[in-house]
Amino acid sequence: MTDRLFTKERKPTTPALAVSQPSGMVLARARAARSHRVPVLPVALALVVAALLVTGLAVAYGHERTPPAVSAVTATPTVQVPPAPQRPALRDLMPSGVRIGSAADGRWLSLDPEYAELLGSEFGAVTAENAMKWGNLEPSPDVYAWTGADQLLTFAEQHDQAVYGHTLLGQNDVPKWVDPAWPAARLRTVLRDHVTTVVSRYRGRVWAWDVVNEALDEDGSLRDTLWLRKLGPGYVADVFRWAHAADPGARLFINDYGVEGRTRKADGLLAMVRDLRRAGVPVDGVGFQSHLQWDDRPRDLVGNLRRFAQLGVSVAITELDVRVELPETPAKLDRQAALYRQVLKACLAVTECVSFTVWGFTDARSWIPGYHEGYGAACLFDAALVPKPAYAALIDELRRLPPRSGGVSSPG
């Protein structure tokens, strides 16, 4: 994640021009004229003419030095989309039953009003980028830092947004105080208590959870983690059952990357979800992270989503971004836009696709440059919150949909 701030470009202001002489100077010259017995009328006329000349020169000089205020506007726009007040928001165009969301970093909700305004107006759902991860929520045993997660929940409720919880158990999010040397029984108790505490606190306020995140290796087998080594493969089912007991109304997802197309990892995930469902484990959905590269499209994205849906689960695009090899060019951004459109179109083509989430919406807050050297510009808006071709592509795709009664923007 990047913590850099950005400053939007501001239009230059032109100082007011002083084009009239002070009245005291006129009076002084009039008195001097009378003392020398010079006719008043010619002197007055001369002063008026002089004042007009000075005024004309000042105005002309001012216009010559004033920056052309329309130059930035009349230049070729980066994106062919209307100004914000004239364009519909993404959330307003989504079909009924599909949420469009963004990951959010709670720090910027108070530090950057423009970031907060755009997050609240464009998206019908939010995902906590880091605030709900175990290592951040419980930095010490039984000591919870709820502020960041609570702040995001409050923001979402104020803006009629659903909240997607991320994540109850992830491979990289275990607190440092959890000791791998502990016996299995203690590790199991610590994990169960964490899941139960978090889900119970937000019961009824979080519509879906990433229950287990990135549990698989690239070959489709279970990743070698502390939980697999100490608790065995059954730990995945246990976490789902604990989460369901804490909030039976929440939708429970298993989430992973590299499974958008037909890969070995996707095959392994498909088999895993099938087995869990057959065993009665409450797996309600599968999340496809979709951290993609501008020149590499997933293979058979629609068909892959459909084969998961045939298991009786919902599917969701949970963390979409499309990184571009730097420096970015118009051609690269056009291909990026086409990939954003392809993923949205695939989601909308599958009835069981219930949400479409981008992993951050502005390049100013993107995690990509810090983790993928030589890549960036992965989001819908640039660092100055100007919409990019990718945003225009989503708007265009949504406008092609048949009329509907309204999108989903509230929890439920």
Contact of 348 with 97, CB cutoff 8 Å: no
Q: What is the predicted pLDDT for the residue at 65?
A: 29
Query: What superfamily would CATH give domain 84-399?
Result: Glycosidases (3.20.20.80)
Contact of 164 with 210, CB cutoff 8 Å: yes
> Where do the H-state alpha helices sit in 279-329?
301-309
The Cα 224–Cα 227 span in angstroms is 8
For residue 128, the one-letter residue type is A
Q: What is the predicted pLDDT for the residue at 84?
A: 57
Contact of 339 with 388, CB cutoff 8 Å: no
Element (H, E) at 316: strand 314-325
Please say if 117 is a catalytic residue.
no
- Match 């009786």 to its residue by tokens: 312
Q: What is the predicted pLDDT for the residue at 83?
A: 57
State the pTM of this model.
Answer: 0.78
Residue 212 three-state SS: strand
For residue 385, the one-letter residue type is L
Which ranges in the chain are annotated with CATH 3.20.20.80?
A: 84-399
Task: State both tokens at 17.
Answer: 């021009």
Question: What is the DSSP pairing of strand 99-104 with strand 353-358?
Answer: parallel
- pLDDT (tens, 9 = 90+) of the chain, 412 residues, equals 433 333 333 333 333 333 333 333 333 333 333 333 334 333 333 443 344 333 343 333 333 323 333 333 233 334 455 555 577 899 999 999 999 999 998 888 989 999 999 999 999 999 999 999 999 999 999 999 999 999 999 999 999 999 999 999 998 899 999 999 999 999 999 999 999 999 999 999 999 999 999 999 999 999 999 999 999 999 999 999 999 999 999 999 999 999 999 999 999 999 999 999 999 999 999 999 999 999 999 999 999 999 999 999 999 999 999 999 999 999 999 999 999 999 999 999 999 999 999 999 999 999 999 999 999 999 999 999 999 999 999 999 999 997 644 444 333 3
Beta-carbon-side half-sphere exposure of residue 291 (alpha carbons within 13 Å): 16
Kindly name the residue from 122, 319, 328, 352 that is annotated as catalytic: 319
Kindly name the residue from 122, 129, 214, 260 that is annotated as catalytic: 214
Residue 110 three-state SS: helix
Please say if 352 is a catalytic residue.
no
